Amino acid sequence: MKLGIVGLPNVGKSTLFNSMTLGKAEAANYPFCTIDPNVGIVTVPDERLTKLTEMYDSAKTTPAVIEFVDIAGLVKGASKGEGLGNKFLSHIREVDAIVHVVRCFEDTNVVHVDGSIDPIRDIETINLELVFSDLEILERRIAKTGKMAKADKSLQKEMDVLQKLKDALEQGISARAVEFDTPEEKAFVNSLTLLTAKPVLYAANVAEEDLADDGASNEYVGRVREFAEKEHSEVFVLCAKIEEEISDLDEADKKEFLADLGVDGSGLDRLIAASYKLLGLISYLTAGPQESRAWTITKGTKAPQAAGKIHSDFERGFIRAEVVSYDDLMRLGSYNAAKEQGLVRSEGKEYVVKDGDVILFRFNV
């Protein structure tokens, strides 16, 4: 799972990004994290994993992770190739969702690139670059499909979708805000991998004193919420500076520090939770003496594909999944006790994996 952090210069992107990569020793387990300085690996907090590790006395605990990519440098004119613009746009194309950091804090020491604090103008500046890039793609596609549609009438449906998207984008409306009725239309829109179709989370970066009421008394945040509602996007409030300050504290000190500020849970934890919700993600678990581990899947994933997250051989040779819910397992105290009660189910290829399923896969090699 990969999320891209975008936003104008000086809004707090690097500060937020640093808070993710500082004090994250466990991330060293992930080989790819040292390769690219613009990629941060964040572990998904999950208490269930701690409990499973205790129950199985596992030698190792491996949480699920989210990858964050710092896509700095997206500025006005990026879609025209200004300041390495197109390179940044191609980075955005690779992510599953966008975290758009918006400046909602006043600080005369921190210069704003456009001279004043105005979150909606800022959002629109960035969005417009993405819109321009999408329009270019659509125009090329319309020209190509238009030619083919002359001979193949069945392509007219695609042309209608392309035209509807183009009309919206020309009014500055993001593709994610355009409604389509049929699953075919939606699948076709997905296949276009438009930047403005990606789910977005607006991260309202506020001053420390605005954290306690979740930004309710900050009028900039109010405007961001209003804007996001119109395009069915999510907003969450954080203070990047605080995140950076607490990033190398241990869990207990972090909790205490945040409690003093009147907040429960770090912005990073809330960002992870919001990303899971936005992307419709859940976790299933595997447990044993060697390792207890959480795996991220999309809601609706069937057992063989869930197994494929562990290894492609598991998916190819899938026979069945032995499944017990985390709650049943904890209530009964052991796998064997759950089995005796008939709560360990044998599930086949069509089984849709649930959040908190503890699974043992059976497969042919």
List contacts with ligand GDP (CB under 6 A). 7, 9-15, 72, 105, 107, 110, 205, 207, 239-241
**C-beta of 256: minimal distance to ligand GDP in Å?**
20
276-282-288 Cα angle (round to 5): 130
Q: In the complex, what is the shortest distance from the CB of residue 193 to ligand GDP, in angstroms, rounded to a whole number?
A: 25
- Annotated binding-site residues read 10-15
Nearer to ligand GDP, 14 or 305 (CB): 14
The three-point CA angle 33-44-220 to 5° equals: 95
Q: Which is nearer to ligand GDP, 138 or 200 (CB)?
A: 200
What is the nearest approach in angstroms of ligand GDP to the Cβ of residue 106? 8
Binding residues for ATP: 10-15
Q: Quick one: tokens of 20?
A: 């993710």
Tell me whether residue 207 or residue 337 sits nearer to ligand GDP (CB atom).
207
State residue 297 phi and psi, 5-degree precision: -135, 165
Identity of the amino acid at 147:
K
Q: The tokens 């075919």 sit on which residue?
A: 184
Beta strands in the chain (DSSP E): 2-6, 39-43, 60-62, 65-70, 97-103, 200-205, 234-238, 281-286, 291-298, 318-325, 345-347, 357-363
Q: Report the residue number, 7 or 356, with the smaller CB distance to ligand GDP.
A: 7
Angle between helices 267-279 and 13-21 (to 10 degrees): 100
Among residues 11 and 175, whose Cβ is nearest to ligand GDP? 11
Q: Is the dihedral of CA 219, 101, 112, 208 positive or negative?
A: positive
Which one, 7 or 119, has the nearer CB to ligand GDP?
Answer: 7
CB of 72 to ligand GDP, least distance (A): 6
Residue position matching structure tokens 């996001």: 228
Distance CA 55, CA 6 (A): 41
Nearer to ligand GDP, 239 or 358 (CB): 239
Nearer to ligand GDP, 67 or 243 (CB): 243
Q: Smallest distance, Å, CB 202 to ligand GDP?
A: 14
Q: How far is the CB of 2 from ligand GDP (least distance, A)?
A: 19
- Nearest by Cα to 20 from 237, 3, 107, 10: 3
How far, in Å, CA of 205 to CA of 203, rounded?
Answer: 6
Structure tokens at 121: 């103008």
Distance spanning both ends of the chain, measured CA to CA? 27
Question: Alpha carbon of 1 to those of 36, 49, 222: distances in Å?
Answer: 16, 19, 29
Where on the phi/psi map is residue 30: left (φ > 0), alpha (ψ -120 to 50), or beta?
Answer: beta
Q: How far is the CB of 250 from ligand GDP (least distance, A)?
A: 23
Structure tokens at 23: 């004090």
Write the CB contacts of 57 (distance below 8 Å, at least 6 apart in sequence).
289
**Min dist. Cβ of residue 77 to ligand GDP (A):** 17
